Structure 1
Amino acid sequence: MANLTDKEIMASVLGEHKLAASSLTNLILESVCPMLRNDAESILTKTFDAQKQVFDIMSQKGWYSVQSASQQEISSAQQKIKGIQSQMSQ
């Protein structure tokens, strides 16, 4: 068995956090038990925090690069989100 690099291990951990976040989100959205929902929300928050730490380490090491968005692209995305929120509150 080949040895995994630190980059490969971190990429795997990042992927697992993404999968966990997706699964927890589905659990929360489909949960009818308030206690279960609250527990899952707490775990999801911790998962987000852990994912961010892994992402930051990978980014600092140059293992995960993202393209920076322009201010116009950010503003456009914010407007789309506001539109979706507005539709959902109607």
Structure 2
Amino acid sequence: MATERFNDLKAFKGFIDEKLSSESDELTLAEALTHWEIENQGAEERKETLEAIQEGFADIEAGRLTPVRAALDELRKKYGLPPLP
């Protein structure tokens, strides 16, 4: 991540001011932070993100899908959480 800008509080304030003046009122804090992280990714991080998205689309096109319930059950088991009702 472009650390110098990512950790620059004034740059973040300007970013938030811009979002608040141009985005809808429905932008959440989590969404704003996600936008900040994306906009401040370094070239390598951006490349890795795009490759992961492309792999996901390739999996979908090839039919390599896991039902949501099965995926959640697997994660819950992995992290020792109780099963869903």
What TM-score results when the alignment is normalised by the length of structure 1? 0.32
Greater per-residue helix proportion: 1
TM-score, structure 2 as length reference: 0.33
Larger radius of gyration: 2
